Structure 1
Amino acid sequence: MGETWIRTDVLVIGGGNAALCAAIAARRRGAEVLVVEKAPKFYRGGNTRHTRNMRCAHDSATDTLTGPYTEEEFWDDLLRVTEGNTDETLARHMIARSKEMLTWITDQGVRFQPSLGGTLSLGRTNSFFLGGGRAMLNALYRTAEDLGVQVLYDTAVTALEIEGGTFRCAEARASTGPGNEAGDREGDGAAPSGAPMRIEAKALVAAAGGFEANIEWLKEGWGECAENFLIRGTPYNRGEVLRMLLDAGVEPIGDPTQCHAVAIDARAPRFDGGIITRLDCVVFGIVVNRLAERFHDEGEDFWPKRYAIWGRLVAAQPDQIAYILFDSKSLTSFMPSLYPPIQASSIAELAGKLDLRAEALSRTVAEFNGAVRPGTFDHTIFDDCRTEGLAIEKTHWARRLEDPPYYAYPVRPGITFTYLGTRVDTEARVQMRSGDAASNIYAAGEIMAGNVLGKGYAAGIGMTIGSVFGKIAGEGAARHV
């Protein structure tokens, strides 16, 4: 079986939000575009399938947002969650460009739902997709296909030919497994299943995600504890394209141990558990490790600005596991996991069900209860419910665990995406180690998120990075063509 040759203007590697924004933007500027997606069609879209919202700056309330969110406030939030570990020029550029994204995304067929209240506290800052991330993806794919963008599913890029910062071609191979719909379509640039392909393009947009599903690569930074990590998103993000770019002289950016990592239900599957395994109840109770000891302030900031630190916190605990404890008054205050909480009529009984020492857990809860100061509980503000006298205080939303039954969720680190990636400029062009910008290589989404996210996370920023830099990359690639 011979090699299939494909020629196009812009090759987009990846099939998620960043890739589709790039493909649509390039096509709207007249370029011929081919998208190569490693996953089968049903699983297309990488981690975008599991998303719910995006964070964009805006000057006033809208039909789906309750108030303004200025560029400066967005910058302040990003600066705080990253602790200054961000490229200010790129971050401010992204924030400024985010203001146009809500309109642009809507123009591509994506719909938003009315603002959400409750514990997420995002009604003013974040726009939620009507139908979630999969509905958003479907809208982008419909638009891309209507514009004439070609898509190859179930096709992995196996090599990149890059000379002196200039992309020449990609080698790819269609899967021989079920679900390879692209391989059955003759005449549209598809190759038979299993056949090698040579794809020549005048510009490349790398939007193939991070390496979070590559446990061996995670171990290079984390060590053996990575064996206990769960991967919230797609199993297809193994970092092959990122590795190819770095090997070709692209300048890396970011720490390999920095990532979007949240505490998810320890009973979740190894891959693709998604949003329904995330737990948002930390602020309503306490979190203990295998020694039945608290290890961090559960009430230091609003949950959307702190939920993504808890994966790293749990990763640092013995056996990379922890337990969120709360009582009956908090049971209906948050979005539950797919799995029911573990329930008991007493703290000692709960300890037994969690395989924790009953004496140690009872002591921890008693000390916490004794340290809680009177206050007025309100999870929507920085309330005055706090502890006093503990080695690790709970600074807000502290209430005694005293109303049985008692509940617990076991949690492990849930890795969403990694921050080690390719350095880019404001035009989304990748930068080479030589100090020059690549002539025709662009990057968007997780593969370059480390430019903005040196550490930490705030809800919705990943989708902002993907949408903004995806559009910039697509437009830049089309201009180059």
Structure 2
Amino acid sequence: MVNTSFDVVVAGCGIAGLSAAVAARQNGATVAVLERSVKEERGGNTRYTEAMLRMKSEDEVADDFESHFAANSGGYLDPSLIGEMAADYENWPRLARSLSFVDPELVGAFSEAAGPTIKWLKSFGLSFDFLPTPFLTTCTTRMLPRGGGLAMVEALAAAAEKMGVTFFYETTAIDLEQSDEGVVTGLVALGPKHKRMTFRAKSVVLACGGFEGNPEMLADYMGPRALNLRPVARGGYYNKGEGIRMALKVGAASCGDFASYHAEPIDPRSGVAEPAIFIFPYGILVNKQGDRFVDEAVGTVDATYETVTRHIYEQSDGIAYVILDAKLNDVPNKQLAIRTDQPPIEGATLAELAGKIGVPAHRLEATVASYNAACRPGTFKPLEVDGLATEGLEPPKSNWARPIDTGPFIAYPIISANVFTFGGLKVNGRAQVVNCNGDPIPGLYAGGEVVGIYYKTYTGATSVLKGAVFGRLAGLDAARSNLAAAGREAVVNG
């Protein structure tokens, strides 16, 4: 067994892990980063995402940021416990501090730290702007880093290397170590060729992703339908849930919906990162039986695609097909909403198209005929919610409902991707992992997907931001705790 000692050991090399490592190193800590992948693939999911950020400026989160989290903060919460949370967080009952819900203290800390985190990221040469997205209709504001998540990974990794952070690639954290007093004192990892390694540390930051790459955990928490899920990009396959498991093993409180995940509609034929199909609101969705099963266009696509995708997941074999016709050419910038590298499936007639996608022709023709008969005259406005709805159809189509009657007819297959899992660990506003009694576990922090914060519907464009914010907060607090223990003051960098 190899033994190595650092002030801060970070498990994971995505945006959360790198933010933690750089912030801790800026404040004088010696830092190690453990990464399951080879160096060329470091970065986890962050490496493959556009990294949309729910911000209205570089200084402020979007107007609906906190309200969206509040509307999706958990299940049916006990009003008596909610009433006890009116006091300052320090005065909450310990039971309330450990509850599985998104508490306002955490969301407030997230919101408050977002702007300073963007400013901090810019100090490493990153730039941000309101760039085009695949959402042709939107309900909120999204800012993006130029170069996407890959630019964030490379900028922070380069900074970390320059500052002397030590990287251990092909190394996976598997267990935490604690003192008799319950303080986390390091972790055990497996290196290349299954070599067992022990990393001693004054603080450990878990930033090693969710469990979207672990079929066993998916089946355990989500049931047999999870067989039809796949990660949205290559980085997700590295996320196998060890960080969550090792923390739960030492008494960490759980948070987030373990039976759910961030769903995104993708083309199963494609192997590119995030081959999303966001064009479905302009057509109809049918399952393998040729039947419609959902309102394809309740509202703007950015606010509704996850719900629609969950309905796709519930269909036979977890697959559906969007049926469109030549009038799709009326939609400006339609190609932005089609991220697959595979061509559409085309047929001169609906029967020919049905044969190519393996759907009963008579059912598809009947479904389209019923839909067409329910369409009503009106003005088609493709880039805004237009209220052009069906009448007398179940399920209805609430917007952009035009007959599908102009050949050639096209289709894209769609399955649900598992962008990341919702279940994770409970943390406080300092990114400290909280135990089941509501107290911080000394020496243990978490950031990124390991942190459970999502229920019901994903608050879009917050996952990369969450990783950067709580990763940075974890690194700062870990370094300051180390300095305080040594009788020194933090430089307050980062």
For Structure 1 versus Structure 2, the TM-score category normalised by the shorter chain is: 0.7 to 0.9
Equivalent residue, structure 2, for 1:240: 242
What is the aligned counterpart of 1:306 among 304, 307, 313?
304
Cα 1:423–1:81 shift into 2, 3 Å:
closer
* 2:68 equivalent to 1:73: no
Per the alignment, in what secondary structure is the counterpart of residue 52 of structure 2? Answer: strand
Among 2, 10, 17, the alignment partner of 1:4 is 2
SS at match of 1:161: strand
Matched, 1:456 2:472: no
Alignment of 1:408-423 (within 5 A): 408-423=411-426
Identity across matched positions, percent: 35
Stretch of structure 1 that moved more, 332-341 or 398-407: 332-341
Measure the CA separation in 2 of the matches of 1:344 and 1:244: 52
Which residue of structure 2 lines up, in the alignment, with residue 187 of structure 1? Answer: none
Q: Distance in 1 between matches of 2:310 and 2:296?
A: 14
Q: 1:289 touches 1:317 (CA, 8 Å); kept in 2?
A: yes
- Structure 1 counterpart of 2:53: 55
Deviation by residue 1:325-351 (Cα, 9 ceiling, x = unmatched): 111222561334111111111111111
CA distance in 1, matches of 2:246, 2:214: 15
Whether the 8 Å contact between 2:188 and 2:199 is mirrored in structure 1 is: yes
Structure 2 CA distance, aligned partners of 1:53 and 1:91? 19
Aligned-pair distance for 1:315? Answer: 1.7
Q: Which residue is equivalent to 1:203?
A: 203
Please say if 1:335 is aligned against 2:313: no
3-state SS, counterpart of residue 404 of structure 2: coil
Aligned partner of 2:469 in structure 1 is 468
Match among 255, 258, 261 for residue 256 of structure 1: 258
Report the Cα distance in structure 2 between the residues aligned to 1:86 and 1:328, rounded to whole angstroms. Answer: 45
The 5 A counterparts of 1:97-116 are 97-113=113-129, 115-116=131-132
Unmatched 5+ residue regions in structure 2?
76-100, 483-494
Once the two structures are TM-superposed, the CA of residue 458 in structure 1 deviates from its matched residue by 3.9
User: Does structure 1 conserve the Cα–Cα contact (< 8 Å) formed by 2:129 and 2:143?
Assistant: yes
1:403 CA drift (Å): 2.0
Given the alignment of the two structures, is residue 274 of structure 1 paired with residue 290 of structure 2, yes or no? no
Give the deviation of 1:281 after TM superposition: 1.0
RMSD: 2.2
Q: Which residue of 1 aligns with 2:213?
A: 213
- Kindly indicate whether the alpha-carbon contact (under 8 Å) linking 2:10 and 2:206 is maintained by their aligned counterparts in 1: yes
- Match of 2:223, SS state, is helix
1:53 aligned counterpart, secondary structure = coil
Q: Contact 1:115–1:123 (CA<8 Å) still a contact in 2?
A: no
Offset at residue 72 of structure 1 (A): 4.1
Superposed displacement of residue 278, structure 1: 1.4
1:69-468 map, 5 Å: 72-79=63-70, 86-113=102-129, 115-116=131-132, 119-121=135-137, 125-163=141-179, 165-176=182-193, 194-233=194-233, 234=235, 235-269=237-271, 273-275=272-274, 277-330=275-328, 333=334, 334-448=337-451, 450-451=452-453, 453-468=454-469
The structural deviation recorded for 1:82 is 6.4
The reply to whether residue 20 of structure 1 matches residue 18 of structure 2 is yes
The superposition leaves residues 174-220 of structure 1 with CA deviations (integer Å, 9 ceiling, x where unpaired) of 223xxxxxxxxxxxxxxxxx533211010011001001111111111
CA separation of 1:121 and 1:28: change in aligned 2, threshold 3 A:
farther
Cα distance in 2, alignment partners of residues 380 and 79 from structure 1 = 28
Counterparts in 2 of 1:123 and 1:296: CA distance versus 1, 3 Å: closer
CA distance in 2, matches of 1:69, 1:123: 17
- Which moves more between the two structures, 86-95 or 438-447? 86-95
Q: Deviations over 1:353-401 (max 9, x none)?
A: 1111111111111111121222222233221221111111111122221
Contact 1:55 1:460 in 2 (8 A): yes
Whether the 8 Å CA contact 1:259–1:418 is kept in 2: the answer is yes
TM-score by length of 2: 0.85
Give the SS at the match of 1:11.
strand
Range with greater deviation from structure 2 (126-135 or 320-329)? 126-135
| In 2: Cα distance, 1:120 partner to 1:159 partner | 45
Q: CA 1:167 to 1:229, structure 2 compared with 1: closer, same or farther past 3 Å? A: same
Q: Distance in 2 between matches of 1:350 and 1:296?
A: 21
Quote how far apart the aligned CAs of 1:77 are: 3.8
Q: Which amino acid aligns with 1:261?
A: A
What is the aligned length?
449
SS of the residue aligned with 1:143? helix
Could you tell me which amino acid in structure 1 is paired with residue 481 of structure 2? H
Q: Give the Cα separation in 2 of the matches to 1:409 and 1:79.
A: 35
Structure 1 residue 70 displacement after superposition = 5.6
Whole-angstrom CA distance in 2 between matches of 1:326 and 1:385? 16
Give the C-alpha shift of residue 124 in structure 1: 7.0
State the distance in 2 between where 1:321 and 1:368 align.
Answer: 20
Would the aligned equivalents of 1:82 and 1:456 in 2 still touch at CA under 8 Å?
no
Asked if 1:46 corresponds to 2:47, the answer is no
Amino acid at match of 1:152: F
Q: Give the Cα–Cα distance (whole angstroms) in 2 for the partners of residues 300 and 264 of structure 1.
A: 19
* Deviation of 1:268 (Å): 3.6
Aligned residues of 2:60 and 2:115 also touching (Cα < 8 A) = no
Q: Distance in 1 between matches of 2:106 and 2:230?
A: 31
Judge conservation of contact 1:81–1:305 (CA < 8 Å) in 2: no
